[in-house]
């Protein structure tokens, strides 16, 4: 009978294996804290899951993997959604917030070789070898640092990509996020991890986050115990950087962040699509000493059933139990670095990347139309 009084929290998820693994791992952490809660997973297919023939960077829409799930949040079909934080746009729809940022896994990229190159590295691969990636960021840095290699688009979820690598002769290797491989328990397929000096990672790579309604204090309170403070500082800075750069999936923007006891360092920049140019910079900020505890934090906080004022957000993250001054400092660091990069020539690279991507979208579109016309005639 006990089950009857148990509250059920509804959790939205994409259907991919990785999405479900991430969703289940967050649910497990919450169950450890609140054994009395029940969780029900409601799966959905998103636009990003349906479009498999086009590189992400060539699809105009920003919230490809998140929109359908956000609609489910808005109409109360679900209470929260677990995401790879790097797939969440830097600006969320009205009424949404990030209620938890979990401890970051390894944020770096990894090379997965075709069996025939088992013990190779990117550097040692023969000239003209084909690297599968649809990430502009990875492509630009590989072109820059390994100019003997050729880049080829690859889409689909991780399972699909591995199949494309293993079952055909189209690719010599893939470059992927190590965190995704790790969560799928495919570590043994990792050939070698790329150091940020060879390939800086994407904003928020390796961090899982939970999105919910920005005014749903009950869910926010539940989720707040998952926040990992050093990760919060890193990703607030990185998201502020990307937001100010207006990069999204459409420009080769990359970062590398280190968080010490009282210091936060953000390295980041933008590459030209062909990798020949880069504007990179780095900034460090002192983190303010711990504020006076609870009184101040709870004043903005979650002890009221429905906040009359919107809760403060830093790069869309709501973390009322964490030191607010430090979160603000992290956000400012990201904005300052972006301004520096933009002023030092980054704006031109961003504009050119955008122009090139738009031209490719038009060309793709025209090619598809021509194909259709041909089929109609035949």
**Catalytic site includes residue 188:** no
Q: How far is CA 232 from each of CA 314, 320, 328, rounded to the nearest angstrom? A: 10, 12, 11
Rounded least distance, CB 280 to ligand DPM, Å: 16
Query: 40-59: which residues touch ligand DPM (CB under 6 A)?
Result: 56
Specify the stretch interacting with ligand DPM by CB under 6 A; choose among 39-47, 82-90, 282-290, 345-353: 82-90
Specify the stretch interacting with ligand DPM by CB under 6 A; choose among 80-88, 117-125, 224-232, 307-315: 80-88
Rounded least distance, CB 354 to ligand DPM, Å: 15
- Distance CA(118)–CA(277), nearest Å, equals 32
- Looking at the Cβ atoms of 58 and 302, the one nearer to ligand DPM is 58
- Looking at the Cβ atoms of 244 and 320, the one nearer to ligand DPM is 244
For position 249 contacting ligand DPM by CB under 6 A, the verdict is: yes
Q: How far is CA 12 from each of CA 17, 25, 101, 136, 286, rounded to the nearest angstrom? A: 14, 14, 17, 29, 38
Rounded least distance, CB 271 to ligand DPM, Å: 11
Rounded least distance, CB 249 to ligand DPM, Å: 5
For position 256 contacting ligand DPM by CB under 6 A, the verdict is: no
Beta bridge partners of 144: none
For position 234 contacting ligand DPM by CB under 6 A, the verdict is: no
Q: DSSP per residue over 243-276, as a string?
A: HHHT-GGGS-EEEEEEE-SSEEEEEEEEE-TTSS
**Residue of the chain from 68, 79, 87, 172 that contacts ligand DPM (CB under 6 A):** 87
- Distance CA(206)–CA(91), nearest Å, equals 19
- Cα 121 to its chain centre, rounded Å, is 26
Query: 197-216: which residues touch ligand DPM (CB under 6 A)?
Result: 202, 205-206
**Mode of pairing for the β-strands spanning 96-101 and 208-213:** antiparallel
- Looking at the Cβ atoms of 25 and 265, the one nearer to ligand DPM is 25
Rounded least distance, CB 3 to ligand DPM, Å: 34
Between CA 359 and CA 366, with CA 360 as vertex, the angle to 5 degrees is 95
Burial track 275-292 (b if 16+ CB lie within 10 A, e otherwise): beebbbbbbebebeeeee
Rounded least distance, CB 203 to ligand DPM, Å: 8
Query: Closest Cα partner for 176 from 166, 163, 196, 162?
Result: 162
Q: Say how many residues touch ligand DPM, by CB under 6 A.
A: 17
Residue numbers annotated as active site: 87
Interaction site with ligand DPM (CB under 6 A): 56, 84, 86-87, 133-135, 137-138, 176-177, 179-180, 202, 205-206, 249
């Amino acid at each position: 009978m006990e089950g009857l009084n148990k509250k059920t929290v509804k959790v939205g998820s994409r259907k991919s294996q990785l999405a479900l693994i991430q969703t289940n791992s967050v649910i497990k952490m919450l169950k450890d804290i609140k054994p009395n809660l029940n969780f029900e997973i409601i799966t959905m297919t998103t636009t990003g899951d349906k479009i498999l023939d086009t590189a992400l960077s060539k699809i105009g829409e920003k919230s490809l993997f998140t929109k359908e799930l956000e609609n489910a949040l808005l109409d109360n079909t679900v209470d929260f959604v677990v995401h790879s934080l790097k797939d969440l746009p830097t600006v969320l729809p009205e009424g949404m917030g990030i209620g938890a940022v979990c401890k970051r896994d390894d944020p770096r990229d990894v090379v997965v070789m075709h069996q025939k190159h088992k013990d190779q590295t990117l550097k040692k691969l023969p000239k003209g070898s084909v690297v599968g990636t649809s990430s502009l960021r990875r492509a630009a840095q590989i072109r820059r640092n390994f100019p003997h290699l050729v880049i080829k688009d690859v889409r689909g979820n991780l399972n699909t990509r591995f199949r494309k690598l293993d079952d055909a002769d189209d690719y010599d290797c893939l470059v992927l996020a190590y965190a995704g491989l790790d969560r799928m328990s495919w570590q043994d397929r990792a050939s070698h991890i790329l150091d940020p000096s060879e390939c800086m990672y994407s904003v928020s790579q390796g961090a899982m986050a939970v999105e919910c309604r920005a005014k749903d204090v009950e869910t926010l309170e539940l989720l707040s115990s998952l926040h990992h403070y050093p990760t919060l500082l890193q990703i607030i800075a990185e998201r502020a950087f990307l937001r100010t750069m207006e990069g999204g999936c459409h420009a080769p923007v990359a970062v590398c962040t280190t968080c010490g006891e009282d210091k936060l360092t953000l390295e980041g920049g933008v590459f030209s699509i062909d990798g020949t140019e880069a504007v990179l910079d780095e900034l460090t900020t002192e983190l303010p000493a711990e504020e006076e505890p609870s009184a101040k934090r709870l004043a903005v906080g979650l002890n009221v059933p429905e906040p009359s004022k919107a809760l403060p957000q830093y790069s869309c993250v709501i973390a009322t139990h964490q030191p607010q001054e430090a979160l603000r400092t992290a956000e400012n660091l990201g904005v300052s670095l972006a301004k520096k990069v933009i002023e030092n020539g980054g704006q031109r690279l961003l504009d050119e990347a955008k122009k090139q991507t738009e031209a490719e979208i038009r060309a793709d579109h025209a090619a598809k139309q021509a194909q259709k016309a041909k089929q109609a005639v035949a």
